[in-house]
Amino acid sequence: MTAEHYSLVGDIGGTNARFALVKQGSIEPEAIEVLPCRDYENLDQAVVTYLERVGVASVRQACLAVASPLRGTRVTMTNNHWRFDIEAVRQVFGWSAFKVINDFTAMALGVPHVSDANLVHVCGGPGDPGRPKLVMGPGTGLGVSGLVPIRNGWVPLVTEGGHVDFAPTDDTEMDVLRLLRARFGRVSVERILCGQGLLNLYQAHAEIRGVAAPLDAPEKITAAAVDASDALAGEVLQHFCEMLGRTAGNSALTLGSLGGVYLCGGMLPGFLDFFLGSPFREAFVAKGRMRPLMEFTPVYVVTEPYTGLLGAAEALGNSEV
């Protein structure tokens, strides 16, 4: 491949670094490779390995999405040992430009580029494509972002919407709040609506009922719920989906996201059929007088595994980022 025509894009999570090349003027990721972060001392080594693997000596510029808060030019990854200085890395590789953006912002920017084949309709009507979109993703945490339409594209919103207060709506949820408050002090929705959160919710339900909680990983809870081998796991996952519906509905009301709600991340595709049959939909639309508005808003699960790379590619040419 001829280096001059390519830019490097990446989506660096706590566990994996996903890299790809994009041609100038395109947002189609090519030569996608996934490298485990723990195998590399730092970002530079991972980039060098990737470029060697795909047989490209150098690229013109780069955009990386990182799971880390961004302030200034020093980047400290939240869930792995990588640290780097943006300008220093740019100089080492001789890139003309090096953008570093938040990983969930990249997820949001990728959403308009996801093909219809990778969007599973959950509920809702046609919506209004000219209005904002809400992007939410339960995964390691609960990512929340928005996309606001402008004349020729989208402005992504960088938010911390996963950290809003958990608001119980019935007696069981009051008990869940009481138990989680005893563990964590303050209880945000992220304490429930992510992988670890599902485990927290399962343990809380077991304690409320006075029964054992033998499952010790979120994947075990979803597997036991899906194959109906554990009644408690099934009820907890139903409750998880219901609370996700209510929380997504709250964020949709706040953002005015008639353009649609897009549920991203690696978690939901792991139990998609269960999710589609869950109380998510009813919880999403049950907003009193706003019900017709909610029923008009389309909700999708995004099954594209490389949405973040699409977003990093979009960010290369998006002057709003």
Please state the closest distance from residue 275 (CB atom) to ligand ATP, in A: 10
Q: Which stretch binds ligand ATP (CB under 6 A): 110-118, 158-166, 243-251, 259-267?
A: 259-267
Q: What is the DSSP string of 92-156?
A: HHT-SEEEEEEHHHHHHHHGGGS-GGGEEEEE-----TTS-EEEEEESSSEEEEEEEEETTEEEE
Q: Is residue 96 close enough to count as binding ligand ATP by CB under 6 A?
A: no
Q: Is residue 145 close enough to count as binding ligand ATP by CB under 6 A?
A: no
The token pair at 262 is 């897009």
**To the nearest 5 percent, what fractions of the chain are helix, strand and coil?**
45, 25, 30
Size of the site for ligand ATP (CB under 6 A): 17
Q: Is 64 left (phi over 0), alpha (psi -120 to 50) or beta?
A: beta
Residue pair 163/275 in contact by the 8 Å Cβ criterion = no
- Residue among 7, 68, 102, 140 that touches ligand ATP (CB under 6 A): 140
CB nearer ligand ATP, residue 258 or residue 267: 267
Q: Is residue 225 close enough to count as binding ligand ATP by CB under 6 A?
A: no
| Alpha helices for 227-286 (secondary structure H) | 231-255, 272-276, 280-285
Q: Is residue 218 close enough to count as binding ligand ATP by CB under 6 A?
A: yes
| Residue carrying structure tokens 């090519």 | 30
Please state the closest distance from residue 268 (CB atom) to ligand ATP, in A: 8
Q: Which stretch binds ligand ATP (CB under 6 A): 11-19, 163-171, 173-181, 252-260?
A: 11-19
Please state the closest distance from residue 196 (CB atom) to ligand ATP, in A: 6
Q: 262 forms bridges with which residues in the sheet?
A: 135, 300
- Residue among 139, 161, 234, 298 that touches ligand ATP (CB under 6 A): 139
The token pair at 104 is 């969930």
Q: Is residue 195 close enough to count as binding ligand ATP by CB under 6 A?
A: yes
Longest CA span, the chain: 64
Q: What is the distance of C-alpha 274 from the center of its chain? A: 20
The one-letter amino acid code at 244 reads: L
Q: Is residue 219 close enough to count as binding ligand ATP by CB under 6 A?
A: yes
Q: Is residue 265 close enough to count as binding ligand ATP by CB under 6 A?
A: yes
Q: Is residue 10 close enough to count as binding ligand ATP by CB under 6 A?
A: no
Q: Is residue 32 close enough to count as binding ligand ATP by CB under 6 A?
A: no
The one-letter amino acid code at 2 reads: T
Which residues contribute to the site for ligand ATP (CB under 6 A)? Answer: 13-16, 67, 139-140, 195-196, 218-219, 222, 265-267, 270-271
Binding site: what residues are annotated?
10-15
What are the binding residues for ATP? 10-15
